Structure 1
Amino acid sequence: MQKKWCINLCALAAVVGLSACSDKEVGDVSLGLFTTKDIKIDALQDPDIPGVTCHISSIEANLDLSDPSDSAIACRQTGPITAAMLSNIDTSDSDDVIFKKSKSIFFKNMKVRRIFDAKSQTLIYLTYSTKETSGSYKHSLSTVPLWGTQAYSAQPASD
């Protein structure tokens, strides 16, 4: 009975471990020999604007119930951005959540939101934690200007 229990537990651990692997992961940096924390770097292509790729780094603590809230984001134009792509996105101030990743078994998530600044014709990508840490929410920001793309309009939207 104990052997069967051990085998089932090992199988469950393997499934959980493999499910944590991301096909979007492009890098993994160990923070040292005496820690179980690693910096994971994921590549995220905007689902509505495939000409934008964001790289997000965050800390994963393999043996903890909750990962640290710190993250960083850098987004760049990696392909064409057209007016047709922009017509498919939410251009209101409420923005779109384009990525969400669980950072804890207790409702903490890391989210990436896309906001379109029509006046400066810039896509803004904001990553943040949904749980307050030390009195503030951890967040990071990156922008992709539309200048030089097919989506750029010489007459920006008025207020």
Structure 2
Amino acid sequence: MLAVVALATPLLAGAEEIGNVSTVFKFVGPNDRIVVEAFDDPKVEGVTCYLSRAKTGGLKGGLGLAEDRAEASIACRQVGAINFKGDLKDGESVFKERTSLVFKTMQVVRFFDKKRNTLVYLVYSDRVIEGSPQNAVTAIPILPWVQ
């Protein structure tokens, strides 16, 4: 069983928790909360994305057994000179984190809009059988970095 869980669990793309707020008090286990995390695009130097999403608390949440909600918000920003570390593929996953024990993940994918010279990031939740249409999008025009 542990092998199945290990194989089904996507690798964390190095998200750093920036902060959180409590939304629902729980008598047992941690409270439900909204967390704000930051991660850098692994192939685009100079881009950081900020993701806010719900984390389920309670006894199941504290043990990592609860299923988190599918809703998320994203804002990606240019934080330095943009340099590409490799070829970019449209729809390439840049962040992935499980939101249930085995079957559900929250992920961010990147697209490159060549016509507008803009990077577009989409966050959504997927599940082995049925995903969610809930999503959010953000875009970064590629501009010269002036300090």
- TM interval, shorter chain, is 0.7 to 0.9
What stretches of structure 1 move > 6 A for 4+ residues in a row? none
**Residue 90 of structure 1 pairs with residue 88 of structure 2:** yes
Residue equivalent to 1:78: 79
1:56 correspondence with 2:51: yes
Which structure has the greater CA radius of gyration?
Answer: 1
Aligned-residue offset at 1:33:
3.2
Q: Which consecutive residues of structure 2, in runs of 5 or more, have no partner in the other structure? A: 1-13, 61-65
Larger mean CA deviation between 33-42 and 73-82 belongs to 33-42
Letter in 2 for 1:140: A
Match of 1:148 in 2: 144
TM-score, reference length from structure 1:
0.68
Using the aligned pairs only, state the percent identity: 34
SS class of match (2:81): coil
CA RMSD, Structure 1 to Structure 2 (Å)? 2.4
Question: Structure 2 length as normaliser, TM-score?
Answer: 0.74
| 1:29 equivalent in structure 2 | 21
Structure with greater strand percent: 2
Give the AA of the match of 1:70: E
**Aligned letter for 2:72?**
S
Higher relative contact order (CA 8 A, sep 6+): 2
Structure 1: tracts of 5 or more residues without a match: 1-21, 151-159
Instruction: Evaluate the alpha carbon distance shift between residue 33 and residue 62 of structure 1 in structure 2; reply closer, same or farther with a 3 A threshold.
Output: closer
Deviation of 1:34 (Å): 5.0
> Counterpart of 2:120?
124
